[in-house]
A and B are shown apart, each in its own frame.
Chain A
Amino acid sequence: MKLNQLTLTQAMAGVKKKKFSGKEIFEACLAEIEVKNKDLNAYLTINSEKSYKSHNKPFYGLPLAIKDNYCINEVETTASSAVLTGFKPPYDATVIAKLRQSGFSFLGKTNMDAWAHGSSTETSDFGPTRNPRNLAHAPGGSSGGSAAAVAADLCVAALGSETGGSIRQPAAWCGCVGFRPSYGRASRYGVAAMASSTDTPGFLTKTVADVALITPCICGLDPLDATSSPEVFPNLINQMKKDLKGKKIGFLYLDIKGMEKTRAYYERVWQDLEKLGAKVEKVKARDPREAIGVYTVVQRSEVSSNLGRYDGIRYGQGREKFGAEAKRRIMLGTFLLSQGYADKYYWQAQKVRTLFMQDFERLFTQYDALVSPVSPTLAKKLGCSEESAMFGELEDIFVEPSAICGLPSASVPCYHDKKSNLYLGLNIMAPMHQEEIVMQVASAYEAGTNWNHWAVVERGDHEI
């Protein structure tokens, strides 16, 4: 096995035992990037070998891919938009500073839907990213570059962000793990804002154990972010489980229109969860289509305001450089907030959002965790985002309800289609601030099934 194929867990174990160094892993990743990136376009900016500085504990310089909406001091940060070409922030995002402090190194910045507007990475102003599992298909988005970098072993793990489903959906489409903590756990300071009330930093990783290792590094109260949570982040490593005995799980959205093609696979997931000891029940939740409406209104309204700062005066290029999707979203948001319409649309959407929060509260009194499909289909072909002006929102239908409520959740591979080499993902949701429950279900499911090839290798590989 090549060093770039190691999981974070394996890499840590090996570096601790001095079998190899963080620098060697960094170089192995660079070598693979050199070969694969021109086809995948997962990375927009790649750091050179020279940029590697020696790092100590706790993470020994293990290399990460960073989504391009995170400001890294003096490194070009564009959020995949032509408006920010050449922009080099003189500051680090808080989570970047924390990852540095934890001893990680950065391989480069990954591609995304421009401004995180999308679910396929096709709205990037710098070309789409291809799905490493099947190059004719999209990787999902907006953290498509990060998901692709993980799936293609071009890094040990990748930093992403989620607003409507932008970590879980690309994780599902690329067949890796995606995890987002509760809203407010990780600081948004220095992350180009999309929808301020739902933007959440999180990770794309190879296994669930990797999530447990790395997520605490970025969580914690940040005085520079007034929406960051003072709640103490739980220890996730202690929450890795082998079974789900005593757990009550609600299964959502199986009967929603569009699930016809993949429903059978999710019924198998249901059976596997029960084999692990969980009690699983079908659950009627609020119609997720309403969440699309809420998300569309809230996100576009906040976006229209958040992107008002890009005028080319203090940095970046002029507003004429905004791509078509960005223009569309800014304008719709402007309309939804405008005089005469705000009451009807903006305020109504925020009230329906309250209904979703109440609905989840109700469900969590009956169930420990909730699961659902991430996406109704396998990763779609490149070009899919042109289907509709609402492509992103429609794709993310199953993950938007939990996203607008800020719930901690994950996507883990739950089916692999041998013919296309593409995957389906299982969406796992827990109550606010109870990330440990997500961890319990995700780890047990991964341990009890064979969909995650890295996990399978890890289990068979007793040496490392």
Chain B
Amino acid sequence: MKYNLVCGLEIHTELKTQSKMFCGCKNDPFGAKEPNIYTCPVCLGMPGALPVANRKAIEWTVKLGLFLDCQINLKSKFDRKNYFYPDLPKGYQISQYDLPFCFDGKVETDLGVVRINRIHLEEDTAKLLHQIVEGKKVTLIDFNRSSVPLVEIVTEPDIKTSEQAVVYAKKIREAVRLLGIGEADMQKGAMRLEANISLQTSEQAKRGELPNYKVEVKNINSFNFMKQAIEYEMKRQAALLDQGIVIKQETRGWNSEKGETFLQRSKENAADYRYFPDPDLPMIVLSQAQIDEWKAELPLSSEQEVKRWEKQYQIPVKYGQALIGKKEEIAWANELWQAAAQQNLSVAKLANYLVNKKINYSLNDKVVEVIKKFNQLTQVDEINQGDLKAIIKKTIDQFPTEVKRYQAGEKQLLGFFMGQIIKSAGKKLDAAQVNKILREELG
């Protein structure tokens, strides 16, 4: 039986603000040299401690939403999500329930549109390490990460292939980096993926119905593993459905070593989080003017930037695509193009040299240095037209057979002649100039 993949992704990404979401502690959990050195009464959940929201985190969340084509809730609030776990110092997580900052957005991919249901802002939990200490199995807790700002992006179940899931996730990562709001580094745990996977039968497809279950897969820490996990689940679920087995809501983890998902928890009794508005945090009311201001500050998406380069500098789109990625790369590249254009150099040629690795460069290089390297490679020695013509004529005369073949139609011999001319000239020549004269001489 054939089934359609019905998949939604939930991506959590940490924001790289200076301070935490609800307190003034330093936000650098991965860089901290010791555990529990960036804490205070608030992120440790001590008696009487109170949260105060980080304005920048709110701004960045809204900007991310605007960048991903979302609607913005002008009135928003924070809610308490109550549950017990050792990594949650207050016994509740401050999150957003029914009035998230952003909703109804979309991401366009080559493999189809993925709609975004919501984007909301919350605080991260502490980090847990499972170890054996003095022979006992324990869990160690580090609160450096407690209350770091965390953005959650939830899609509609629009994803139809594992490839599309990867493309979508990469676009989210790119957006986060482009906006300069986060590292989105999966190795550091700054970006985490969860996939909700189910299969739709062809009958359901005809009726326009979605499956009545979904399996949540967690612990995925790379795009590759996500692709594998989705494909594994598709096979696993198809096999069950083929046997007529009803699949229950459940939560599964991904075991990358075995290449399998495994049951973590049955989701039949969904946790009761008893959401209610956090009485310690007044409502957020944004004006349309503020939203418009933030929208005007958004950078171009990489597609938009690449198109602009093609238009302005004639850099072919495929070269532009090869060069972009992080926000810093685009900024650096723009600086380089501008400097080159000012000196009347060929920006497109420069881009070509970078992509084809004719010039080795890194983002730390000064733009001036890179241009210097470019000039060295393309500099042509001074030569007057008359001398050049003489050299060309002399070289052609040495190869009468090849001239005849060229004139008979073997146009590719032009390259052979070019090489000979340059060799005998013993100088750096302007290839375009040589080419022009050569063609004239050859007829």
A positions within 8 Å CB-CB of B: 69-71, 77, 79, 84, 87, 89, 91, 93, 188-193, 195-197, 223-227, 301-302, 304-305, 307-311, 313-315, 334, 337-339, 342, 346
Contacts and interface: CB of A to CB of B under 8 A. Distances in A.
B41 interface: yes
Interface residues of B, number: 28
Contact of B82 (A223, A308, A310): A308
Interface string B35-68: 0000001001111111111000000000000000
A251 B49 CA distance: 39
Nearest to B272: A339
B contact patch SS: loop
B349 interface: no
Interface in B79-106: 80, 82, 84, 86, 89-92
A225 B47 contact: no
Contacts of B282: 226-227
Nearest to A77: B47
Contacts of A190: 41, 47-49
B141 interface: yes
Contact of A305 (B50, B82, B143): B82
Given A305-B91, A337-B274, A338-B272, A225 B50 contact: yes
A2 B90 CA distance: 47
Contacts of B274: 304-305, 334, 337-339, 342
Contacts of B272: 338-339
A196 B86 contact: no
B47 A84 contact: yes
Contacts of B86: 311, 313
6 contacts: A89-B41, A223-B52, A308-B92, A309-B45, A310-B91, A342-B274
B263 to A, nearest CB: 24
A89 B46 contact: yes
Contacts of B82: 304-305, 308, 337
A226 B48 contact: no
B46 A314 contact: yes
For chain A, what secondary structure do more than half of its interface residues adopt (helix, strand, loop), or is it mixed? loop
Contacts of B400: none
A295 to B, nearest CB: 14
A309 B44 CA distance: 9
Interface string B197-209: 0000000000000
Given A226-B281, A227-B280, A342-B274, A309 B50 contact: no
Contacts of B51: 226
B409 interface: no
A311 B84 contact: yes
Nearest to A83: B47
Interchain residue pairs A-B with the least CB separation, the first 7: A308-B91, A337-B274, A196-B279, A190-B48, A197-B279, A192-B47, A309-B45
Contacts of A338: 272, 274
Contact of A309 (B90, B141, B143, B281): B90
B48 A309 contact: no
A108 to B, nearest CB: 18
Interface of B: 41, 44-53, 80, 82, 84, 86, 89-92, 141, 143, 272, 274, 276, 279-282
Nearest to A315: B46
A372 B274 CA distance: 37
B52 A196 contact: no
B90 A342 contact: no
A227 B53 CA distance: 12
Given A89-B41, A227-B282, A313-B86, A192 B92 contact: no
A224 B52 contact: yes
Contacts of A93: 48
A323 to B, nearest CB: 16
A183 to B, nearest CB: 11
B141 A188 contact: no
A313 B45 CA distance: 11
Given A71-B47, A192-B48, A305-B91, 16 more contacts: A190-B47, A193-B48, A223-B52, A226-B53, A227-B282, A302-B279, A305-B92, A308-B82, A309-B89, A310-B91, A311-B84, A311-B86, A314-B44, A315-B46, A338-B272, A338-B274
Nearest to B53: A226
Contact of B276 (A71, A77, A193, A346): A346
A314 B45 contact: yes
A337 B46 contact: no
A196 to B, nearest CB: 4
A69 B92 CA distance: 21
Contacts of B91: 305, 307-311
Contacts of A311: 84, 86, 91
A88 to B, nearest CB: 11
A315 B143 CA distance: 14
B52 A193 contact: no
Contacts of B92: 305, 308
B50 A188 contact: yes
Given A302-B279, A339-B272, A226 B50 contact: yes
Contacts of A310: 91
A310 B51 CA distance: 17
B170 to A, nearest CB: 37
Nearest to A193: B48
A284 B299 CA distance: 61
A314 B89 contact: yes
Residue in B90, B91, B282 with the greatest tally of chain A CB atoms within 10 Å: B91
B341 to A, nearest CB: 48
Contacts of B90: 308-309
